[in-house]
């Protein structure tokens, strides 16, 4: 398919942006595609120029036709790579603000679980040997820890719109890939590691959470819902969950 057709027709069909950092990522993608189109045109122009030159004059134009375009290409791709790394690092390494909502995400074959710290704003201790989805303790909460009783564990991620969220990603068994295309999020959850990503959802709605790593025979069904709610609706939802989990 011609690249120009993709730029003008298919790019607007990307999932709608539902996070504050999404437009910057889409702009970078569009910039990359336009540069690729320009480089393709330049490559054809250089080929035609080389064919038009006589053999006796090829040495004179070697710097202009071969070395200079290669140097410009190297500089362009280096600049794009640095810009892309900074965009990705903005959700991964820069750190969330102190006001960001803290939520823990746990991936295990073949489901996602989400934990909210409850009214005490502190996560309880978890122990892998205590994890038992069939008994209602999928993340392995330690009942002996005083911060555990008010933790809320759900199979659906619900967030307030226009508030920064700091997710802590964990995996109990193998590597799972946490991905929400509409929020332009993709980060692996690795066993033995706690990996943070932070973002601000902006558009209320329901979005699919996918696993992008082949994690076993049930990989195809490892998905969950992410719901973004207005602030008041989110508060009501969380209060109802806390009341149901710990009456």
Q: 120 near 110, Cβ under 8 Å?
A: no
pLDDT at 3: 46
Residue 1 has pLDDT above 50, yes or no: no
pLDDT, one tens digit per residue, over 15-40 is 777 777 777 777 777 777 788 788 77
- Interatomic CA distance for residues 224 and 201, integer angstroms: 17
Residue 127, SS3?
coil
Residue 53: both structure tokens together = 């030159």
pLDDT at 213: 92
pTM for the complete prediction? 0.75
Mean pLDDT of the chain: 82
Strand-strand pairing, 176-180 and 185-189? antiparallel
Percent of the chain residues topping a pLDDT of 70:
84
pLDDT, one tens digit per residue, over 37-65 is 887 787 777 777 666 665 545 555 556 66
Q: Which residues contact 8 (CB under 8 A, 6 or more apart)?
A: none
Residue 118 has pLDDT above 60, yes or no: yes
* Domains of the chain and any CATH numbers: 3-92 (no CATH), 101-245 (2.60.40.420)
52 forms beta bridges with: none
pLDDT, one tens digit per residue, over 189-242 is 999 999 998 899 999 999 999 999 999 999 999 999 999 999 999 999 999 988
Residue 81 has pLDDT above 90, yes or no: no
pLDDT at 22: 73
pLDDT at 204: 93
């Amino acid at each position: 398919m011609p690249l120009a057709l993709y730029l003008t027709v298919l790019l607007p069909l990307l999932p709608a942006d539902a996070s504050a950092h999404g437009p910057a990522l889409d702009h970078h993608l569009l910039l990359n595609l336009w540069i690729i189109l320009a480089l393709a045109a330049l490559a054809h122009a250089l080929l035609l120029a080389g064919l038009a030159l006589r053999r006796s004059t090829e040495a004179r134009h070697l710097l202009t036709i071969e070395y200079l375009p290669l140097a410009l290409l190297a500089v362009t791709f280096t600049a794009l790579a640095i810009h892309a790394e900074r965009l990705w690092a903005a959700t991964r390494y820069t750190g969330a603000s102190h006001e960001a909502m803290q939520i823990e995400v746990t991936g295990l074959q073949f489901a996602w679980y989400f934990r909210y710290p409850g009214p005490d704003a502190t996560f309880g201790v978890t122990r892998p040997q205590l994890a038992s989805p069939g008994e209602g303790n999928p993340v392995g909460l330690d009942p002996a820890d005083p911060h555990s009783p008010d933790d809320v564990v759900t199979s659906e991620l619900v967030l307030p719109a226009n508030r920064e969220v700091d997710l802590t990603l964990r995996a109990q068994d193998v590597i799972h890939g946490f991905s929400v295309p509409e929020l332009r999020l993709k980060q692996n959850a690795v066993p033995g590691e706690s990996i943070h990503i932070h973002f601000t959802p902006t558009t209320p709605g329901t979005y699919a959470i996918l696993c992008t790593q082949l994690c076993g025979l049930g990989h195809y069904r490892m998905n969950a819902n992410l719901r973004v709610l207005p602030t008041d609706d989110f508060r009501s939802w969380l209060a109802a969950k806390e009341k149901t989990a710990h009456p």
